Amino acid sequence: MPRAVAINVGANTNAPGVRGPVHPDGSFEFVPIPEEASTSESASVPTYADLDLDTELPAGAADAPVHLDPEFAEYPECERYTYGDPYGVKARPLLELEAGDYAFFYATLTTRGTPEREWIAPDWGAYLVGHFRLARDPIPGEAYPDLPADERTTFANNAHVKREEFDAAVLLEGDPADSGLYETAVPLSSPEGGVEANRVVTELSSDSGKGPWWRRPMTFGERETSEVLELATEGFE
């Protein structure tokens, strides 16, 4: 049975200065972070304006290039399901996964309007926003340059591959049959407040829910992964 790792992604109050919104019905808009590294002259890197977002961005942000990672095929300017990360704290647990395991992605989102779902946190909270089922074993960054050309093509639209200097410590490829952005967020924060972890974190994941848990990677065992997938499919009530 598959296992999983959950990774924090997406916009926040530091970059670009706003979070994506979670709406009263639990739907949300995923907003990527800006691309802060130099990119290859030959790479096509979209801007926030290209994404046609509903989220109100800080002044001047519309023309900023975006770091589209994770790449969800159904999201604007994306082609496949890929993810790369340069940081060991995230790369290490991801590299322990295998084909058929899951990578969950969570983001901090700002509450908009009066919540209709009891599980939506006031002000802001952390929520699962999508997942990949891994189509292959994770690729260590140092192995990427030696992949056959047709395999490297899979990652051609990944933000780390587009950088002037490739810097990913791990690359993931999601199976399109079981990967994607969710229509409804799955809460990790409690309804009492964004900093308070709910049972998905404290009972199902490896994390204690203490301190800034919403920034840390979390691991899930086989049974726990199955339960999280059920929440993503059936909803959190």
- Summarize pLDDT for 182-198 with one digit per residue, the tens: 999 999 999 999 999 99
Q: What is the pLDDT of residue 236?
A: 80
Q: Determine how β-strand 4-8 pairs with β-strand 218-220.
A: antiparallel
Residue 113 lies in domain: 4-234
Give yes or no for residue 20 having a pLDDT over 90: yes
State how far the Cα of 169 lies from the Cα of 86, in Å rounded to an integer: 5
Q: What is the pLDDT of residues 195-227, one digit of tens each?
A: 999 999 999 999 999 999 999 999 999 999 999
Angle at the Cα of 31 (from 27 to 33), degrees rounded to 5?
A: 155
Q: What is the pLDDT of residue 112?
A: 97
Q: What distances in angstroms separate CA 59 from CA 18, 21, 63, 215, one per listed residue?
A: 11, 18, 10, 26
Q: What is the pLDDT of residues 63-104, one digit of tens each?
A: 999 999 999 999 999 999 999 999 999 999 999 999 999 999
**Structurally, how many domains does the chain consist of?**
1
Q: What is the pLDDT of residue 1?
A: 87
State how far the Cα of 196 lies from the Cα of 227, in Å rounded to an integer: 20
Spacing of C-alpha 105 from chain mean position: 3
Q: What is the pLDDT of residues 118-169, one digit of tens each?
A: 999 999 999 999 999 999 999 999 999 999 999 999 999 999 999 999 999 9
Q: What is the pLDDT of residue 237?
A: 72
| Mean pLDDT, rounded, for 111-116 | 96
Mean pLDDT of the residues in the chain = 97
